[in-house]
């Protein structure tokens, strides 16, 4: 998460695909043994389907122009043949009044190019798992002529049909069903022949929303931001980061609904990339128990850049609906974690996950690879060799530097050209002896300014260093064919890829595979690429440092053959081992590991109102035990601002006014705070400082449980806390009568957490070993308290003094409240009757022989009448039986009980 965290472990590139698949099978077997439901299916959610769709509709018969009338035929003595008669019958006009023939719709689908690594990875999983691939259809093309479906499916290139666009709103329900049926039978050429089925499911989007989502929020706001550019840096006119938020939200909601429609219990769900960052949380609401992973293919910026986004919290909360979030590199995962801590104030678990109200999202990384086998086969295409020979002849006697990038500001084409100019300046021996062939394919969004800048720079270099028989830079702004592309990579003496920011760059990997059969030429890579951490044998540079890049170019062009071979061998081994197939299988393995973790092993169900009401109404005596912060009032940055709402006060007053109810607030707050805000409520019992003090209902005096305990340890704990307070700006110490707490909520979140871990280690390994104390890590705080004092002891005391209680409702939200839930585990080993020994909280206040009179008591409570309730997500690790999500829901349930009990009051008083 930060510079104080332990160093990350590098990705192991020696693990084979067979090894990872064996681990997946082992995990699945273990999960089956544990009773975890697995369907054997994986739902892959991508922005686009990997196919393009074309639609044509045949006109009604009435719309076809009628030919001239046929003259009446002369009578023939030869009777018609049976075949002719059959055809004649079928050509008869429809009888008058018959229903018109429905229009005949025809769809054709074709391969969509782009995202080849992701798609090949998904295809490879069909060897082991059934899959559903959900995505947008993209703009639907309108074909002017019908195409046989089989021909369309077998085509490997773009359609040559004249096309226009068909709006999704123009399609009928039957039209959509017809495409869904066609996609259901579709099989791509890269799917394993003997593999399991991949079902393609389209998401139907309103055209305006679809383009506002992709062309608007994705490309104008998120894409620049994730590549360290703000929206105003790339916009051609006044830019608003929020202008397209509505369509982004709408499209994400449509995807979440579509996933929920096809989901079956036991499915694994993987959501891909920045287009769908809200889907995990939306899907979590619809299918709470789903195992959801999110993979972000782009870079993720530092928190200082990300926090500029107006919708930063919505984006982070959307992502954190997943059980597991994976990035390309460790640094991207660290940036994301830092953003969650700094922007939202969320806690980081000891294992590096993000805790949001008890729902823990694991954070990981796994770089994407390419389909190395397919690239190796593509290099053998017969059309490549003639083009390769032509390039060799054209540039005979010269070294060839090759670059191929999209014409996008983040791809660093301008910096590459300037670095090449610097090479010719600093190493003039290369003038006339080296050429740069730079191919820039058009980007998704045109940038005339960048295109003009590149053209002017090329012209400047060629004018300054060229001659009649030598042109140093050959720039081609076009999309080149696959044969030309691989010929260019194979002929190169040096590959140069210098993006300013990039996630995964397939060209670099394809370059290495292409060089396996040719020169084994070196590769220069920008250190700001997601794959740079795995391709360590490449010459890595800072693209902004032109002298460094020029020196790397010179070194690459003059590198000895043995060094070339050594570097190439290591790069080739990495690329051919950690492929897109391995990547996809590793993601499956990671999500299965997450599914088997303790946080997902048990989902706490939402508290049932009906059952709660039933037991409440039939009980003659009821106990209500509430934590305060995070349970009756939300957690706030300034503790003094956590005041109760009107509804909270109404619920407590109403419950306490009922003589059948015993109501307690059991809080970590001191008695003064509780009396200030809640002391006016009649018959409300209160326990302060995590069970250190108690004020019985109807009483105005506090009982101190610490009077008989050795509290001399407090001065030692205070000295330790003072040491860390001096070194942690924004932290402070809270000294209570029975405990002492160090707060760091207002400190730098990452430094505060690091200091908290250091202080905790010192307390546990030194002070706690010698003294009867325990160290508790809370929400942005660290507390030291006596071992004999906790909330659980207070709960036992209340139960012991009210053994006739027939209903218990106990609610809390953090670790200290787990002591209460533990105290209410009254029926071990499925016993039907509960008994309670005299608790320490009863005997501590007794003196001498008075303590001996306390005996074990029988409790009237039944198992189903104990409602322990954790506030937070259903996946939160807790001893509670039920859960609610927010403090507001706790109050809402209490007001509900007050209302349902109100009609019974008059009759009960008769």
* Active site (catalytic) residues: 627
**Contact indicator for 271, 295 with CB cutoff of 8 Å:** yes
DSSP secondary structure string for all residues of 787-827: TT--HHHHHHHHHHH-TT--EEEEEE-SGGGHHHHHHT---
How many C-beta neighbours within 10 Å does residue 862 have? 16
**What is the distance between the alpha carbons of residues 884 and 606, in angstroms, rounded to a whole number?**
6
Nearest Cα residue to 313 out of 286, 284, 293, 342 = 342
Rg for the chain (alpha carbons), in Å?
A: 35
CB-based burial of residue 640 (10 Å sphere; 0-12 exposed, 13-18 middle, 19+ buried)? exposed
**What is the distance between the alpha carbons of residues 744 and 727, in angstroms, rounded to a whole number?**
11
**Contact indicator for 325, 363 with CB cutoff of 8 Å:** yes
Q: Which residues contact 723 (CB under 8 A, 6 or more apart)?
A: none
**Contact indicator for 203, 135 with CB cutoff of 8 Å:** yes
CB-based burial of residue 581 (10 Å sphere; 0-12 exposed, 13-18 middle, 19+ buried)? buried
Listed in sequence order, the DSSP H helices in 133-194 are 149-154, 173-185
Helix (H) or strand (E) holding 828: none
**Contact indicator for 340, 316 with CB cutoff of 8 Å:** yes
Nearest Cα residue to 273 out of 206, 317, 342, 319 = 319
Q: Which two tokens stand for residue 431?
A: 């003038």
**What is the distance between the alpha carbons of residues 732 and 114, in angstroms, rounded to a whole number?**
54
Q: To 5 degrees, how large is the angle CA 266–CA 269–CA 275?
A: 160
b/e code 598-635 from CB counts within 10 Å (16+ = b): ebbeeebeebeeeebbebbeebebbbbbbbbbbbbbeb
**Quick one: DSSP state of residue 61?**
G
Q: Which two tokens stand for residue 199?
A: 């079902």
**Contact indicator for 309, 221 with CB cutoff of 8 Å:** yes
Measured CA distances, 298 to 31, 320, 502, 504, 528 (Å)? 32, 17, 7, 7, 12
List, in sequence order, every beta strand (DSSP E) within 513-552: 523-526, 539-541
**What is the distance between the alpha carbons of residues 191 and 93, in angstroms, rounded to a whole number?**
47
**Contact indicator for 668, 629 with CB cutoff of 8 Å:** yes
b/e code 201-229 from CB counts within 10 Å (16+ = b): bbbebbeebbebbbebbbbbbbbbbbbeb
């Amino acid at each position: 998460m930060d510079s104080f965290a332990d160093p990350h472990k590098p990705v192991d590139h020696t693990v084979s695909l067979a090894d990872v698949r064996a681990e997946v099978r082992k995990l699945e077997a273990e999960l089956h043994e544990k009773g975890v439901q697995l369907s054997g299916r994986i739902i892959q959610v991508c922005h686009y389907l990997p196919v393009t769709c074309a639609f044509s509709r045949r006109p009604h018969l009435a719309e076809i122009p009628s030919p001239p009338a046929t003259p009446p035929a002369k009578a023939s003595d030869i009777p018609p043949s049976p075949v002719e008669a059959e055809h004649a019958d079928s050509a008869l006009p429809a009888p008058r009044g018959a229903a018109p023939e429905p229009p005949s719709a025809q769809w054709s689908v074709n391969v969509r190019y782009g995202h080849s690594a992701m798609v090949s990875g998904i295809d490879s999983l069909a060897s082991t798992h059934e899959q559903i691939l959900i995505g947008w259809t993209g703009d639907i093309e309108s074909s002017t002529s019908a195409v046989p479906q089989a021909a369309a499916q077998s085509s490997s290139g773009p359609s040559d049909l004249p096309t226009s666009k068909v709006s999704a709103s123009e399609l009928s329900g039957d039209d959509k069903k017809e495409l869904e049926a066609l996609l259901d039978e579709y099989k791509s050429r890269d799917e394993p022949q003997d593999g399991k089925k991949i079902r393609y499911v389209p998401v139907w989007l309103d055209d305006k929303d679809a383009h506002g989502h992709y062309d608007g929020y994705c490309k104008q706001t998120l894409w620049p931001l994730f590549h360290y550019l703000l929206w105003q840096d790339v916009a051609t006119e006044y830019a608003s980061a929020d202008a397209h938020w509505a369509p982004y939200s709408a499209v994400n909601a449509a995807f979440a609904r579509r996933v929920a429609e096809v989901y079956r219990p036991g499915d694994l769900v993987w959501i891909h990339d920045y287009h769908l960052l809200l889907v995990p949380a939306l899907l979590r609401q619809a299918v709470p128990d789903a195992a959801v992973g999110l993979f972000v293919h782009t870079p993720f910026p530092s928190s200082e850049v990300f926090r500029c986004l107006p919708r930063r919290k919505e984006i982070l909360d959307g992502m954190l609906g997943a059980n597991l979030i994976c990035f390309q590199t460790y640094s991207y995962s660290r940036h994301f974690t830092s953003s969650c801590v700094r922007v939202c104030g969320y806690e980081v678990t000891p294992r590096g996950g993000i805790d949001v109200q008890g729902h823990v999202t694991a954070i990981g990384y796994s770089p994407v690879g390419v389909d190395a086998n397919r690239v190796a086969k593509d290099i053998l295409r017969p059309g490549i060799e003639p083009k390769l020979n032509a390039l060799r002849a054209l540039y005979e006697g010269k070294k060839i530097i090759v670059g191929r990038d999209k014409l996008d500001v983040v791809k660093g084409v301008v910096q590459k050209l300037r670095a090449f100019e610097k090479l010719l300046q600093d190493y003039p021996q290369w003038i006339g002896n080296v050429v740069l062939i730079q191919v820039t394919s058009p980007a998704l969004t045109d940038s005339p300014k960048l295109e003009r800048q590149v053209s002017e720079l090329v012209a400047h270099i060629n004018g300054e260093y060229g001659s009649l028989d030598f042109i140093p830079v050959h720039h081609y702004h076009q999309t080149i064919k696959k044969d030309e592309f691989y010929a260019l990579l194979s002929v190169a003496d040096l590959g140069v890829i210098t993006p300013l920011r990039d996630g995964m760059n397939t060209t670099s990997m394809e370059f290495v595979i292409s060089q396996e059969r040719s020169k084994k030429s070196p590769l220069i890579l920008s250190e700001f690429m997601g794959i740079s951490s795995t391709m360590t044998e490449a010459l890595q540079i800072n693209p902004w440092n032109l002298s460094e890049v020029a020196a790397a170019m010179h070194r690459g062009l003059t590198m000895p053959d043995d060094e070339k071979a050594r570097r190439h061998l290591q790069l080739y081994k990495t690329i051919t081992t950690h492929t897109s197939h391995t990547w996809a299988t590793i993601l499956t393995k990671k999500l299965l590991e997450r599914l088997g973790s303790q946080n997902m092993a048990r989902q706490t169900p939402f508290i049932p109102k009906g059952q709660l009401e039933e037991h409440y109404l039939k009980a003659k005596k009821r106990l209500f035990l509430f934590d305060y912060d995070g349970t009756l009032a939300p957690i706030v940055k300034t503790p003094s601002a956590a005041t109760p709402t009107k509804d909270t006060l109404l619920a407590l007053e109403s419950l306490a006014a009922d003589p059948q109810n015993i109501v307690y607030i059991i809080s970590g707050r001191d008695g003064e705070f509780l009396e200030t805000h809640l002391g006016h409520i009649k018959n409300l019992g209160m326990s302060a400082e995590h069970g250190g003090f108690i004020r019985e209902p109807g009483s105005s005096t506090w009982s101190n449980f610490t009077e008989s305990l050795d509290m001399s340890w407090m001065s030692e704990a205070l000295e330790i806390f003072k040491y860390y307070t001096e070194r942690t700006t924004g932290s402070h110490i809270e000294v209570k009568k029975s405990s002492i707490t160090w707060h760091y909520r207002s400190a730098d979140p990452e430094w505060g957490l690091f200091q908290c871990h250091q202080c905790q280690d010192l307390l546990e390994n030194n002070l706690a070993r010698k003294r009867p104390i325990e160290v508790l890590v809370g929400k942005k705080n660290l507390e030291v308290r006596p071992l004999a004092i906790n909330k659980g002891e207070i709960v036992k005391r209340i139960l012991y003094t009210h053994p006739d209680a027939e209903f218990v409702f106990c609610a809390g939200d953090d670790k200290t409240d787990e002591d209460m839930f533990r105290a209410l585990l009254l029926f071990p080993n499925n016993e039907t009757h509960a008994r309670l020994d005299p608790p320490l909280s009863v005997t501590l206040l007794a003196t001498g022989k008075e303590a001996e009179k306390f005996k074990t008591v029988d409790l009237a409570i039944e198992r189903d009448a104990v409602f322990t309730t954790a506030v937070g997500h259903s996946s939160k690790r807790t001893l509670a039986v039920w859960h609610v999500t927010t403090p507001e829901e706790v109050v809402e349930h209490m007001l509900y009980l007050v209302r349902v009990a109100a009609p019974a009051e008059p009759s009960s008083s008769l």
